[in-house]
Each structure stands twice: as C-alpha cells, then as structure tokens.
Amino acid sequence: MTQVIVLNGGSSSGKSGIAGCLQAVLPDPWLALGVDTLVDAMPAAMRESGDGIEFAADGEVVVGPEFRALEAAWIAGVAAMARAGARVIVDEVFLGGPDSQRRWREALDGLVVLWVGVRCEPAVAAGREVARGDRGAGMAVAQAEAVHRGVVYDLEVDTSRTEAMECARAIAQRVRFQG
C-alpha cells in the first residue's frame, strides 16, 4: 500500500491544489504537508538570514545551514509519521534537484512512495504567481524546470492546461491500495 505521495514542482505549479484534491478523492485520510509548512513554522528571523532561508527580489531562494538542519529534522519527522501509520502527501520544491530527492529517499527508505513530478509551463506558473501575490516575482519561472532536473518520477502531471482534480485522479489511479 502506498504510504507517501511526494509531489515535486516549482512555485505556483499547482501542487497544493492537487494535494487538496487528492485528500478528497483518495478513500482513506491523508495528511498534506508542504515545504511551506516548514517555512511557516520557522522563526521569522530565519526567513531573513543567510543561515536560514532567503527569498530574493528576483525570485531566487537561498538556503543556509540552519535551514538545512531543521529541514533534515522535518523530513525525518514526516517519515516517522508515515512509519507510524499516517498516509502523507508531501508538497515539495526540490531546489537541489536530485540531492533533494536523495534526502527524501533516504528518510523514506522502506516505505512505499509514489514520486510525482508536477510540471507547469513557466509562463502559466508566472501568471499564477502574480495572481497569488504572496511570492517573489520570478520564483515560478526560475523553478519551473530547475526543480525537475535529474529527478526520477513514477508519474508526471502537467497543470498548464489540466485542472488539479484531473491531475489528482490520475495520481490516485497509481496509488496502491491494500486489499
């Protein structure tokens, strides 16, 4: 049985919308946890520090050693929840590409994981970014392709012209159920 679904995509690609739709269409309860959950839980000072995480005016995201330490603990905690029986949807942005996926693979070792790439054309993601108003301009374009380089998936969806619910249904068809 699938225990963890990892959604990787750039900012404004539609991961959070898909995660919510997955919670609606999957037959059992699933927790949706995202990198935004981690960032929001950090002290505000860490969002403005070279040791934490910095969001540049041009959309670049720079992470420091304190962020990496907390991120490692968070990833281990998410894995522990899955091992304890929670089904988890992870909404993630692999800024480090294959290195980011490796960190998750190591933490999730022994669990049944469905790796999903959430793609979105840069121009579409940029439009969503403007509409959201809570992201630095340029983040969506900078991340649209970069987060997928070197990452291996079981399934990819593209939200450029496909609604979140349709993507969620495609993902749900790949989730292995007990029975």
Q: Which residues are catalytic?
A: 36
- Cβ neighbours of 25 (radius 10 Å): 14
Amino acid (1-letter code) at residue 115: W
Closest CA to 13 of 141, 104, 99: 141
What distance in Å separates the CA atoms of residue 106 and residue 97, rounded to the nearest whole number? 15
Per this entry, what is the length of the chain? 179
What distance in Å separates the CA atoms of residue 99 and residue 151, rounded to the nearest whole number? 9
